[in-house]
Structure 1
Amino acid sequence: MDARATDFWSSPDLAVQIGGDAPTPQDKPEAAMDWAFGLATPELRLFTTGVQRRLPSGPAATLGERARRFFSEYPAAGGLEVSPRLLVGAIPFDREDGDCLFLPERAANRAWSPPFHRTSSPGSRRITAEPSRAVYQDAVGKALVSIRASREGAQPVDKVVLSRSLRLEADAPFDAFALWRDLQADPSAARFLVPLGPGRSRAMRRLVGASPELLISRRGAAILSHPLAGSARRSPDLSEDEAAAQALLTSDKDRREHGLVVEAIMDLLAPWCSDLRAPPGPALVSTRTMWHLGTRIEGRLRCPDEGSAAELAALLHPTPAVCGSPRDRAAELIRELEAYDRGFYAGAVGWTNAAGDGAWYVALRCAEVCGREARLYAGAGIVEGSDPAAEADETSGKFQAVLRALGVDEASL
């Protein structure tokens, strides 16, 4: 980022301006909080309120061009950036579905101060597994059959990521801001809260989570991706926890699964880069509830004026870490084997600015909250050698981050 952008990130609170025009305030303070966006990572904290303009929604393939057009229609006043002109929001899992990005009114590097309730979840809840654990395991079995059968075709499937969902219904509305607060147990994760627009009940839909996975970031010519694939549930017993970590690190099945993700990202980024590198093997990455295999991929753009963070995110998304390989065939299997629409789960959340800088995180360890309903998601990568029961256990472990924040025990689901 240039000096003006750096000054912005060191400022506690600024109006986000386009064309030098001060934003029109929302009629009521609560309206500004309706569109509150938050992203807190070890590297950056970005909190916005209000909405000035929404980016016309569209599929992933057009995101880069739509973002460029949006910023070009509102040039900086006098050629100077009063503040980085921002778009914040989310990309859905399905590349053909419409995204949700918008220009906020104000941006800050300190969190908003909404009136938190005492807890993020009402006391009375009804929990429904969709699908049940047994049905999920059956779907994993069907995915393995499809993977084996595909070897005889022109486009064999190496991996497919299958997810399952938990639907929580309560007698009173869930507090998305309190849930965001209570997810801070994983300081290394990217905590996010993204407004998605009003739901059926007219309450604001919000995606809330704590993602361990960086899809892509761009700062000038420098880009970074840190994919995770291959996971194991952590244990409160130190010796068992260490054994789980070492077993993951040496697992042939998990290293193959991880390798597919790294290879796909490297192949997609290579044409854009003058330099692109990754270590020869994955490293262990930990969250409060899970061990993961991770690889840090770094590069430099060949043409720094091309390839915004939004365009690169749309190029990579969805990676084999959340979809499978090859991408199109894996997506077909997901539609066949999953009985619901993922929506923005396993999509991406983040920001981009007029200079092309930005950061996008895979929307994992999250819940979509709307009024008295919260829907949680978790998935596992299925490759040759996967065990249906073990994959179901993996999804149970991934549910824990949000369930603990909600004060829910998933042991019986």
Structure 2
Amino acid sequence: MHRAADLLAAYLPGSFYYSSARGALLADGVHATVRAGHGTRAGAAAEALEAAAVSGVDEPVVVGAIGFRPDSEASLVVPAVVRRSGAPTATAEHPPAPPWDAGAWSIAHRPEPAGYVDGVRRALELIKTGELDKVVLARSLELVADAPVPVPSLLARLVLLDPAAHAFAVDVSAPGDPAPRTLVGASPELLVSRRGPAVVANPLAGSLPRVADEEENRRRVAALLASAKDRAEHAHVAGQVAEVLGRFCVDLEASPEPVVVGTPTMWHLSTRVTGRLADPADPAVSALALAEALHPTPAVCGVPAERATSAIAELEPVDRGYYAGLVGWTDLAGDGEWVVTIRSAEVCDRTVRLFAGAGVVAGSDPAAELAETSAKFRTLLRALGLEGVA
């Protein structure tokens, strides 16, 4: 077993890195590329894992990311070499300073803040007419530096600033990209984890920004727990996750009341859902298969899902790509861990594209939803040394 710090230090663009409380994984090289064809990505992954085992790959895994839309791009491979370690831990060491000049960036808002507020108002009209119960609207920042952005330094800062997050870096390069493209982030939201028959999901929905003043933070935590709007939004998500996992699991349990969990930048309502697989030997219940069944949850899409997906396409001016998709790993036994691709960015040479979204429900305030997206941008902006630009 390697040290978590050594795996982080060994990461280079093109590698796959993933860490959580369960441990860290660094994968290099490509033994096989997973292509779904007309089947599910989980089915294609299972076939690729079986073929890799037959060809002599020791303990093969599939790693990578899948985009938000059902027809979106995916980057899934069986790597040639995999190294593992325990989970990253907090240290007294300060994260390395960004090796770039924070003043040298150009910043484009897509849409402009006023355009996002207008989009929220249009979404509220759809909710008022009964077309939607909820839709998650995102906006994007496109940052361009004077020099290529060093992804290893950005990843290291994300991990060291919040070792408890699900941190990741995935090569998602596609034909036509001017340079290698990397999806990097630190997600707070576990979509699903499987270990043997044990399944865990931890949906988050209902949020408030975290601030420096601890007394104000205590007030915000209490307000979040007391908010009828946020609790209703959260109930949509937790209920859907429990319903989907209930198709595969017995002994399904969900917290009767949400709790508030914190990241360095946000407070979220959280519900932990656990279950035991009815048939762990069934290849259709791998971690990736469960993730595909759950995705997209109302936490990143809306209710009803099909109309929310079309509303997102209508109201968001920039395609989400991998944002609000899923990233993680699955092994030959079906075990693995997949998280929701939020608090993330795509880095390509000098360009960094960030996304952040907020759930719009009846009673939402457009200005407050804009402020929520600004707060969610802070995870990546802080790692880039650019807090305050959103």
Report the Cα distance in structure 2 between the residues aligned to 1:34 and 1:73, rounded to whole angstroms: 27
Alignment pair present for 1:162 and 2:141: no
Q: Could you tell me which residue of structure 2 aligns to residue 99 of structure 1?
A: 74
Letter in 1 for 2:208: A
Report the Cα distance in structure 1 between the residues aligned to 2:80 and 2:17, rounded to whole angstroms: 13
Distance apart, 1:121 and its partner CA? 4.2
Higher mean alpha-carbon deviation, 197-206 vs 239-248, is at: 197-206
Query: Residue 136 of structure 2: SS of its match in structure 1?
Result: strand
Query: Residue 161 of structure 2: SS of its match in structure 1?
Result: coil
How do 1:197-212 and structure 2 match up within 5 A?
A: 197-198=173-174, 200-212=176-188
Alignment pair present for 1:285 and 2:261: yes
How do 1:9-408 and structure 2 match up within 5 A?
A: 10=1, 33-57=12-36, 62-76=40-54, 83-110=58-85, 119=98, 121-123=100-102, 124-149=104-129, 151=130, 156-183=131-158, 184-198=160-174, 200-306=176-282, 307-408=285-386
Structure 1 residues 58 and 405, CA gap change in structure 2 (3 angstroms): farther
Distance apart, 1:200 and its partner CA? 3.9
Distance apart, 1:177 and its partner CA? 1.1
Report the Cα distance in structure 2 between the residues aligned to 1:188 and 1:84, rounded to whole angstroms: 26
- Alpha carbons 2:36, 2:43 under 8 Å: kept: no
Report the Cα distance in structure 2 between the residues aligned to 1:389 and 1:103, rounded to whole angstroms: 44
Unaligned runs of 5+ in 1: 1-9, 14-29
Report the Cα distance in structure 2 between the residues aligned to 1:293 and 1:103, rounded to whole angstroms: 35
Letter in 1 for 2:128: R
Report the Cα distance in structure 1 between the residues aligned to 2:42 and 2:276, rounded to whole angstroms: 18
Question: How many residue pairs end up in the alignment?
Answer: 373
Query: Residue 388 of structure 2: SS of its match in structure 1?
Result: coil
Higher mean alpha-carbon deviation, 366-375 vs 196-205, is at: 196-205
Distance apart, 1:409 and its partner CA? 3.0
Higher mean alpha-carbon deviation, 398-407 vs 45-54, is at: 45-54
Distance apart, 1:105 and its partner CA? 1.6
Q: Deviations over 1:325-383 (max 9, x none)?
A: 11111101000100111000010110001110000011111110000100011000000
Structure 1 residues 117 and 398, CA gap change in structure 2 (3 angstroms): closer
Report the Cα distance in structure 2 between the residues aligned to 1:89 and 1:120, rounded to whole angstroms: 27
Report the Cα distance in structure 2 between the residues aligned to 1:235 and 1:117, rounded to whole angstroms: 23
Report the Cα distance in structure 1 between the residues aligned to 2:239 and 2:14, rounded to whole angstroms: 37
Query: Residue 197 of structure 1: SS of its match in structure 2?
Result: coil
Q: Could you tell me which residue of structure 1 aligns to residue 92 of structure 2?
A: none
- Alpha carbons 1:120, 1:182 under 8 Å: kept: no
Distance apart, 1:33 and its partner CA? 4.0
Letter in 2 for 1:106: V
TM norm structure 2: 0.91
Structure with higher Rg: it is 1
Distance apart, 1:35 and its partner CA? 2.3
Identity percentage of aligned residues: 44
Q: Deviations over 1:249-296 (max 9, x none)?
A: 110000000000011111111111122110111001100010000000
Report the Cα distance in structure 2 between the residues aligned to 1:179 and 1:199, rounded to whole angstroms: 24
Distance apart, 1:57 and its partner CA? 4.6
Query: Residue 194 of structure 2: SS of its match in structure 1?
Result: strand
- Alpha carbons 1:230, 1:258 under 8 Å: kept: yes
